[in-house]
Amino acid sequence: MTALTLSTAAVPGLRADAIVIGVAKGSAAKAAGPVVAPGAEAVDQAFDGGLAGVLETLGASGAEGEVTKLPAPSGFKAPLVVAVGLGAQPQKGSGYDAEALRKAAGVAARALAGSKKAAFALPLTDAADAGAVAEGVLLGAYSFDAYKADGGSGKNGKNGKAPLAEAALLGGKPRDKAFKAAVERATAVAEELNRARDLINTPPNDLDPEAFAAVAQAAAKEHGIKVQVLDEKALTKGGYGGILGVGAGSASGPRLVKLSYTSSKAKKHLALVGKGITYDSGGISLKPAGHNETMKCDMSGAAAVFAAVVAAARLGLEVNITGWLALAENMPSGSATRPGDVLRMYSGKTVEVLNTDAEGRLVLADALWAASQEKPDAIVDVATLTGAMMLALGNRTFGIMANDDAFRSAVHEAAEESGEPSWPMPLPEHLRKGMDSATADIANMGERMGGGLVAGLFLREFVGEGITWAHLDIAGPAFNEGGPFGYTPKGGTGSAVRTLVRLAERAAAGDLG
Ligand code: BES
Ligand code: MN
Ligand code: ZN
């Protein structure tokens, strides 16, 4: 991953491949051209104060996502200036929005793929801004090249360019504790988030439940996290009918991974539960062609939970966190669960499986009940659960459902503070009866309308009495099928990781809503 440093070097003498500066939109009312953002003063001076005009001539407007490259002024050691759009200027007296900085840094880092070193001279007002730029750089520079002929080195020119190797952040205070801490936090979060992206992008023939569990085991060992893996035998002994039922058709058996991070100073216990379907073919209710090509992403919830627990451990957060990864592969075969089968779940409830493609709720049900047994202060599950949530919120926003209004708001706030788009969704009681089953306690399908909420209502039945719970449906934002934008690459995005880490920080501060 890109190496990060905080630097106080003066821009003209900096040895780097490029200097990154910010450019914002001028006021629309005055039909003004682009505005050079603070941080770029030295560059502007070298242009005799005419940098904004030069950028305008080159077609720059300051819009978000825009990249304008120009040769550095003479006398500069770096050959290139990269001006990146920040969008609208902030209100007088306040600095740029952290998310605008994060996105701009990500766009610039991606535009500089193939370069060795870049210096980022973006407008920082405080340590949090430095953290945002650091996050943007590390997340934006990400690329997944493990399966390319040259491993992404770009050496043979076949597969594009290697990620930006080194980034110096200017305008920060390298010796200031708050700045150092912000960059350290950003590094831990981004490294683990990028690892979640790697797991999501890894093809399902190489990442089955057993392989995922092995990755979790190794990371847990490295970071002093207690880990327990229940294999098929243990799941059978324990009565985990949901996880076993979903995994029954696959040649690769299911697993339930429990990660326990504990702090001696913890006052709160947060449980995180992730849907980890390493491939979702739909099972006997097979998905049609066109709907299964990206279904390696169906373990994104488990990847997010895994990344968040490891990041929390690296940051030494003063909170106890238990992560549950419900891992299975949903395949059709002679041993697969059939539509019409009844499963006896870990909670003891019976479920009539009407559609084997509604498998996520089955593995989550067992993990939610397992998590509930420890009576945590709150449980959050994360899942690529329903196509219906994508129809409702599009592919950049996740839905938040909960059995507690204050907690749903706390999760929403944590997401906003992290720069992750999300929206609160209801759990309408009238949708519950659509899951009534003639044979079992509940069916795994209900009304088609409001399908994301129906899934949420199903999960709620498997949360222990009196336990605060929220459910994040990340089916939309988990996997980016379009081109990269901001600090979000194509493919696995690492959706929800930053929200979970922020929530863990809030829990450490005793504030869970
Ligand atoms: N993994 C899918 C949901 C999904 C769809 C995630 C598209 C990401 C992109 C889930 O297991 C599923 O198949 N859900 C069904 C439920 C239905 C059968 C009740 C759906 O949403 O169609
Ligand atoms: Mn499915
Ligand atoms: Zn699924």
Q: In this predicted model, what pLDDT tens digit does every residue of 15-50 receive, in sequence order?
A: 999 999 999 999 877 778 999 999 999 999 999 999
Q: Which CATH class is domain 3-173?
A: alpha beta
CATH 3.40.630.10 positions along the chain are 198-508
Distance from the CA of 375 to the center of ligand 1, in angstroms? 30
Structure tokens at 505: 């920080």
At residue 152, the pLDDT reads 60
At residue 151, the pLDDT reads 65
User: Which residues are known to be catalytic?
Assistant: 287, 361
Distance from the CA of 386 to the center of ligand 1, in angstroms? 4
In this structure, the residue with its CA closest to atom 16 of ligand 1 is 358
Cβ burial of 420 (10 Å; 0-12, 13-18, 19+) is buried
Please enumerate in sequence order all residues whose Cβ is within 8 A of that of 322, keeping only pairs 6 or more positions apart, or say none. 258, 259, 260, 261, 269, 270, 271, 272, 371, 374, 376
Q: Give dist(CA 108, CA 224) in Å, integer.
A: 35
Distance from the CA of 474 to the center of ligand 3, in angstroms? 11
In this structure, the residue with its CA closest to atom 7 of ligand 1 is 387
Distance from the CA of 287 to the center of ligand 1, in angstroms? 9
Alpha helices in 47-151 (DSSP H): 51-57, 98-111, 127-140
Q: Give dist(CA 410, CA 408) in Å, integer.
A: 5
Distance from the CA of 190 to the center of ligand 2, in angstroms? 29
Distance from the CA of 443 to the center of ligand 2, in angstroms? 15
Cβ of 445 closer than 6 Å to ligand 1, yes or no, is yes
> What stretches of 99-196 adopt beta strand conformation (E)?
117-121, 166-170
The DSSP symbol for 353 reads: -
To test ligand 1's pocket by mutation, which of 357, 390, 396, 448 has the most ligand atoms within 8 angstroms of CB? 357
In this structure, the residue with its CA closest to atom 14 of ligand 1 is 386
Q: Give dist(CA 241, CA 342) in Å, integer.
A: 9
Question: Tokens 């990154």 appear where?
Answer: 20
The minimum-distance atom of ligand 1 relative to the CA of 455 is 19
CATH number for the domain formed by residue range(s) 198-508: 3.40.630.10
Cβ of 355 closer than 6 Å to ligand 1, yes or no, is yes
Of the listed ligands, the closest to the CA of 449 is 1
Cβ of 357 closer than 6 Å to ligand 1, yes or no, is yes
Neighbours of ion ligand 3 (CB under 5 A): 277, 280, 298, 360
**C-alpha pair distances (Å), 85 with each of 24, 67, 132, 282:** 6, 6, 16, 42
- What is the CA angle 460-464-466, rounded to 5? 95
Question: Tokens 């397992």 appear where?
Answer: 370
CA 495, 499, 501, 504: dihedral to nearest 10 degrees? -140
Cβ of 386 closer than 6 Å to ligand 1, yes or no, is yes
Contact 259, 302 (CB under 8 A): no
CATH 3.40.220.10 positions along the chain are 3-173
At residue 228, the pLDDT reads 98
At residue 159, the pLDDT reads 56
Single-letter code of the amino acid located at 278: T
Cβ of 475 closer than 6 Å to ligand 1, yes or no, is yes
Contact 282, 256 (CB under 8 A): no
pLDDT less than 50: residues of the chain: 156-157
The minimum-distance atom of ligand 1 relative to the CA of 446 is 19
Contact 42, 72 (CB under 8 A): no
Single-letter code of the amino acid located at 460: R
Of the listed ligands, the closest to the CA of 386 is 1
Q: Give dist(CA 244, CA 236) in Å, integer.
A: 7
Q: Give dist(CA 52, CA 50) in Å, integer.
A: 6
At residue 400, the pLDDT reads 99
Cβ of 363 closer than 6 Å to ligand 1, yes or no, is no
pTM attached to this predicted model: 0.97
